[in-house]
Structure 1
Amino acid sequence: MPDSPNPLQAQTYSYLGPAGTFTEAALAQVPGARGQIWRPVNNVGEAFADVVSGRSLAAMIAIENSVDGGVTATQDALASVPNLRIIGEYLVPVNFVLVARPGTTLDDVRVINAHPVAYGQCRNWLERTLPSHGHIPASSNVAAASSLLDNTQADAAIAPPGIDKHHDVVVLASEIGDNPNAVTRFVLVARGNELTAPTGADKTSLIIELPSDRSGALLDMLEQFATRGVNLSLIQSRPIGDSLGRYRFVVDADGHILDERVADALLGLRRFSPKVIFLGSYPRADQRKIEFTSRYDDGIFIEARDWLRGLIAGEPAQ
């Protein structure tokens, strides 16, 4: 974390704390955050409140994990808090250790404190090693470890490697994650409507509501992308909450809103859906260029609009 920045010059960035979390590791990847004020918060709602109120310039939030899927608390918050934009994404490899108070052995462990996402990523190891354990959810991986020092409800905690250098805990087991290639995807969220410039390796995030609970409604939504050659790297359903059978979909589409094929897909979605939330277009963390066939080049869409304009204007057919 940056040391003693000048508060008259520095900007504040919020992240899920306390210090030492994977979220802090993601924030460390942001060039503009270096030398600024980093504010640890307890949950996604507090982080977004910081941004909406102007207390923080931006907030770093986990949104997806390669093992456990989408982070639903983040997805639901993005659907309910207006005027937020994702301006960047960052990937952090993750693994975990099991820690306990000094003097505790693995055989002593009956209850484990862990963030739900971390718990999901270690479930197979836990079921093999501690098949009768109980689970108490924690607000963060570091909070799970630090709570061991304050109460005795849990015997052990899942935490990031190196946590024993910051807290008086001992490591009972290392590399307990079920997938050694696990990665968590984080997004940097800010206020405002400015777009980042397209790079050719971009992602566009949306939240889309279906108009009704009927056969083919989801297919109609997906066709808005498929017929324009737009690949989806994420699609996850979340209940709207007003009645059974009503869902919104969190979608990541390959490309930028300034790409003609993506813009045309958004126009189709707007005609189809009662509510489309544009969360932002931003560079992909992996910098992988988006591939698509030449029939979806920008020029094809531009020529088609010019052709239609000419027909309406009565210009001679080309």
Structure 2
Amino acid sequence: MRRRLTMGNLIGYLGPPGTFTEEAARRYGNSRTFLLRPYPTIDGVFAAVAKKEIDQGVVPVENSLEGSVNLTLDLLSGNTDVKIKGELLCRIKHFLLARPGQNPVKIKEVYSHPQALAQCRFYLDKLFPEASRISMSSTAEAAALVAQSEGKAVIASRRAARLYGLKILQANIQDEPFNITRFFLLALEDAPRTGDDKTSLLIGLHDKPGSLFSALGIFAGYNLNLTKIESRPVRGELGKYIFFLDIEGHREDKKVAHALKEMEEKALFLKVLGSYPHADTRI
């Protein structure tokens, strides 16, 4: 008998099939009955969550080698409906793929997502210094293109090799072995308290001396650990910035709630992006 899918079972992700975001979504849904739906852009995943086309969405937000995915941060700052419901960590292993029979010496172009190209920069400098590096919206989209052409290679996942009929020329070509990408699980509501949580915030501060110091002092005063802080420029306003912060604890925890109330009174604005459980670090 076919099991009926219920709320929470439709997960959107940055596609097409074969991306590392799909890998994160598959891992998240491993113990659940679920369906995956690919979207061609990160914007598309956000919009699908907001429109209730999907129950949850998975998007990349940060890499241990190349830093934040700025588009994800910008969409979080501008979207009023979508919340962060969880975080996922995946160890990223890059593979150099090409059509079967492709002579590596004759590779003239290497395709991939900009982050993947950057994460393999030294490898490409050493072995393919003359090859052009072509950015695509996803590693899987690049794999699909390379599967149709001679003289090209792609940096993508092992699963992409299987899906698109490509040969692995070399495995684990990332410049650093400890290559971890953090993904956000998006939904219309964040997660309930678990006792092992994290809260992501967006704050705008008054343009005056000591405003950032004063804001961070609020968290110190409540003995709340700040695990991340990052600035992003205000779009269209040179020299003005907003700040993304992660703190330990859930927005409903007493200390966190008091700190947020105090922050709201002092900051230009405060937006709680979501509270969610710490990611499983067994990767």
Task: Classify the secondary structure of the residue corresponding to 1:252.
Answer: strand
Aligned partner of 1:185 in structure 2 is 182
Match of 1:158 among 135, 155, 159: 155
Aligned partner of 2:93 in structure 1 is 95
Match of 2:169 among 172, 177, 184: 172
> 1:111 Cα shift?
2.2
Q: 2:43 and 2:210 mapped to 1: Cα distance?
A: 34
Are the structure 2 counterparts of residues 269 and 33 from structure 1 closer, same or farther at C-alpha, using a change threshold of 3 Å? farther
Counterpart of 1:26 in structure 2: which amino acid?
A
256-265 or 77-86, larger mean C-alpha shift:
256-265
Match of 1:111 among 93, 109, 112: 109
Are the structure 2 counterparts of residues 33 and 286 from structure 1 closer, same or farther at C-alpha, using a change threshold of 3 Å? closer
Aligned partner of 1:241 in structure 2 is 235
Counterpart of 2:201 in structure 1: which amino acid?
L
Whether the 8 Å contact between 1:235 and 1:249 is mirrored in structure 2 is: yes
> 1:150 Cα shift?
4.2
**Per-residue CA distance 1:259-291 (angstroms, 9 max, x = gap):** 222222212221222221111111101379xxx
Match of 1:132 among 126, 130, 133: 130
88-97 or 16-25, larger mean C-alpha shift:
16-25
Whether the 8 Å contact between 2:100 and 2:166 is mirrored in structure 1 is: yes
Q: Count matched residues.
A: 281
Whether the 8 Å contact between 1:100 and 1:157 is mirrored in structure 2 is: yes
Match of 2:197 among 198, 202, 213: 202
Aligned residues: CA RMSD: 2.4
Task: Classify the secondary structure of the residue corresponding to 2:181.
Answer: strand
> 1:5 Cα shift?
7.0
Q: 1:150 and 1:33 mapped to 2: Cα distance?
A: 35
Counterpart of 1:204 in structure 2: which amino acid?
T
- Map 1:56-67 to 2 at 5 A: 56-67=54-65
Task: Classify the secondary structure of the residue corresponding to 1:185.
Answer: strand
**Per-residue CA distance 1:166-224 (angstroms, 9 max, x = gap):** 213222221101122211111111114xx533222111011112222x43332222222
Q: 2:3 and 2:234 mapped to 1: Cα distance?
A: 42
Q: 2:32 and 2:179 mapped to 1: Cα distance?
A: 26
Whether the 8 Å contact between 1:89 and 1:187 is mirrored in structure 2 is: yes
1:263 aligns with 2:257: yes
Counterpart of 2:264 in structure 1: which amino acid?
R
Aligned partner of 2:80 in structure 1 is 82
Q: 2:273 and 2:8 mapped to 1: Cα distance?
A: 26
> 1:64 Cα shift?
1.3
Q: 2:196 and 2:253 mapped to 1: Cα distance?
A: 11
Whether the 8 Å contact between 2:89 and 2:281 is mirrored in structure 1 is: no
Higher relative CO (Cα under 8 Å, sequence separation at least 6) belongs to 2
Counterpart of 1:161 in structure 2: which amino acid?
R
Whether the 8 Å contact between 1:89 and 1:285 is mirrored in structure 2 is: yes
> 1:57 Cα shift?
0.9
1:211 aligns with 2:182: no
Whether the 8 Å contact between 2:7 and 2:55 is mirrored in structure 1 is: no
Task: Classify the secondary structure of the residue corresponding to 1:29.
Answer: helix
Task: Classify the secondary structure of the residue corresponding to 1:104.
Answer: coil
Unaligned 5+ runs, structure 2: none
> 1:241 Cα shift?
1.2
Name the % identity. Answer: 35
Q: 1:158 and 1:146 mapped to 2: Cα distance?
A: 12
Match of 1:223 among 217, 224, 233: 217
Counterpart of 1:30 in structure 2: which amino acid?
Y
Counterpart of 1:243 in structure 2: which amino acid?
E
Aligned partner of 2:248 in structure 1 is 254
Q: 2:31 and 2:269 mapped to 1: Cα distance?
A: 33
Aligned partner of 1:291 in structure 2 is none
Are the structure 2 counterparts of residues 91 and 10 from structure 1 closer, same or farther at C-alpha, using a change threshold of 3 Å? closer
Aligned partner of 2:271 in structure 1 is 277
